[in-house]
C-alpha cells in the first residue's frame, strides 16, 4: 500500500515485499537541514536519524515525509551496513525494523550497546502483538511503534525519547573543562558561559559526542551545513581552525586533532 496523505497527516502503511534488493550503503534524503528552536534556545539544533528498513517504498515515503520536516535521514536495509554507519556517524536516534534481510532487528541492539553507542532506538515494525512489543522493549528498545503508524505520532515519540533524563539519554556532554547542553545549545568552560558561532558550535557538539574517537569529515559537514548549500573545499577546515584557537585561548582542556584521510578527533589534554 502506498503512503496516503489525509488532511496533512501522513499515514504510513506497507505490504510485504516479494523481493528484497540490496540498497546503497548510505542514502540521504532531506528537503532541508532540521534547525528547530528548542524551548527558547538562542541557537538551533540539527536532527539526524538512521533508518534501518528493508521495504523500499515505505523507507522512501518516510524519508520524504520527514525530509519535509527538515530531518536528515540516512537509510540502509541491512544490519551489517547499519553498524558501520552507526560507528561512523553521530545520530540523534535510530529507527529500526525487526524483520530484515540479514537478521532480527532486536539482535542489533545489544551489539550496538557493546560498541559503546547509546543512541536511542525506536522499533518500527509490523510485529505489533502485545508479547512482541514487550519483547522489543525488554530487548533494549527505547520505544516501540507498530505499523501502520502516523508520522505525527512518530515525531511525538522522537521528541519524547530525546527529552528523557540523563539516566536514559545524557542531557550534557563533558570534555576537559567544557560542559555542553546540546538541547539548549549552551556551552560553559570552567562554569563560565562560552559563546560560539552556530557552525563552530555544531562542530564542537559533534566532536564532543564522540570524544576520543575520530569523526568523519562528511559527518561534520552534515552537522554544520544545510544540504542545499554548496560547501567550499576548505570551509570546514576554516571553522575548525577558529574553534581550535577559541578553545586554546579559553584553556578548555581539549584540543581538536586532524586524522589524515578520515576527519577530526576531540581529545582531552593530559
Q: Do 50 and 124 sit in the same domain of this protein?
A: yes
261 phi and psi, to 5 degrees?
80, 0
Residue of 51, 46, 56 whose CA lies nearest to 151: 51
Q: Do 124 and 223 sit in the same domain of this protein?
A: no
What is the per-residue pLDDT across 24-66, written as a single tens digit (0 to 9) for each? 333 333 222 333 333 333 333 457 899 999 999 989 988 888 8
Locus of grid cell 532486536: 106
Q: Do 154 and 185 sit in the same domain of this protein?
A: no
Q: Which residue has the higher pLDDT, 183 or 206?
A: 206
Q: Do 40 and 88 sit in the same domain of this protein?
A: yes
What is the share, in percent, of the chain residues with pLDDT greater than 90? 45
Tell me how many degrees the CA angle 236-238-241 measures, rounded to the nearest 5.
110
Would you say the pTM of this structure is higher than 0.75? no
State how far the Cα of 254 lies from the Cα of 196, in Å rounded to an integer: 15
What is the per-residue pLDDT across 191-234, written as a single tens digit (0 to 9) for each? 999 999 999 999 999 899 889 988 888 888 877 876 555 667 78
User: Does 168 map to a domain?
Assistant: no
CATH number at residue 57: 3.40.50.2300
Domain residues for the domain of 192 are: 173-268
11 CB burial (10 A radius; 0-12, 13-18, 19+)? middle
Q: What share of the chain is helix, strand, coil (3-state, %, to 5)?
A: 35, 25, 40
**pLDDT tops 50 at residue 166:** no
User: Does 131 map to a domain?
Assistant: yes
Q: Do 150 and 177 sit in the same domain of this protein?
A: no
Q: Do 41 and 152 sit in the same domain of this protein?
A: yes
pLDDT at residue 162, as a whole number: 83
Q: Which residue, 103, 131, 163, sits at the end of a domain?
A: 163
Determine contact, residues 25/89, Cβ cutoff 8 Å: no
Domain count, the chain: 2
CATH number at residue 194: 1.10.10.10
DSSP bridge pairs for 161: none
Cα–Cα distances in Å, from 118 out to 3, 121, 167, 224? 31, 9, 11, 22
Q: Which residues, at least 6 apart from 58, have a Cβ–Cβ distance to it below 8 Å?
A: 3, 12, 13, 14, 147
Q: Do 145 and 96 sit in the same domain of this protein?
A: yes
**pLDDT tops 90 at residue 17:** no
Q: Which residue, 163, 196, 215, sits at the end of a domain?
A: 163
Q: Which three cell numbers stand for residue 2?
A: 502506498
Amino acid at each position: 500500500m502506498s503512503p496516503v496523505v489525509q488532511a496533512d497527516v501522513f499515514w504510513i502503511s506497507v505490504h510485504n515485499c516479494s523481493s528484497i534488493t540490496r540498497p546503497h550503503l548510505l542514502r540521504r534524503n532531506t528537503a532541508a537541514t532540521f534547525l528547530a528552536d528548542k524551548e527558547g534556545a538562542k541557537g538551533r539544533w540539527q536532527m539526524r536519524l538512521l533508518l534501518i528498513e528493508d521495504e523500499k517504498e515505505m523507507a522512501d515515503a518516510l524519508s520524504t515525509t520527514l525530509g519535509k520536516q527538515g530531518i536528515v535521514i540516512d537509510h540502509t536495509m541491512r544490519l551489517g551496513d547499519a553498524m558501520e554507519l552507526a560507528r561512523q556517524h553521530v545520530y540523534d536516534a535510530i529507527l529500526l525494523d525487526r524483520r530484515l534481510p540479514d537478521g532480527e532487528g532486536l539482535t542489533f541492539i545489544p551489539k550496538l550497546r557493546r560498541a559503546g553507542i547509546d543512541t536511542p532506538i525506536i522499533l518500527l515494525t509490523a510485529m505489533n502483538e502485545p508479547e512482541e512489543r514487550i519483547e522489543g522493549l525488554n530487548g533494549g528498545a527505547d520505544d516501540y511503534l507498530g505499523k501502520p503508524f502516523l508520522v505525527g505520532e512518530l515525531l511525538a515519540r522522537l521528541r519524547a525519547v530525546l527529552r528523557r533524563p540523563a539516566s536514559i539519554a545524557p542531557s550534557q556532554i563533558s570534555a576537559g573543562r567544557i560542559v555542553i547542553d546540546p538541547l539548549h545549545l549552551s556551552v560553559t568552560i570552567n562554569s563560565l558561559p562560552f559563546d560560539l558561532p552556530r557552525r563552530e558550535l555544531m562542530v564542537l557538539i559533534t566532536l564532543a559526542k564522540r570524544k576520543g574517537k575520530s569523526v568523519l569529515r562528511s559527518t561534520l559537514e552534515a552537522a554544520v551545513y544545510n544540504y542545499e548549500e554548496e560547501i567550499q573545499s576548505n570551509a570546514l577546515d576554516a571553522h575548525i581552525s577558529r574553534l581550535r584557537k577559541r578553545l586554546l585561548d579559553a584553556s578548555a582542556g581539549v584540543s581538536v586533532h586532524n586524522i589524515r584521510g578520515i576527519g577530526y578527533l576531540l581529545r582531552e589534554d593530559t
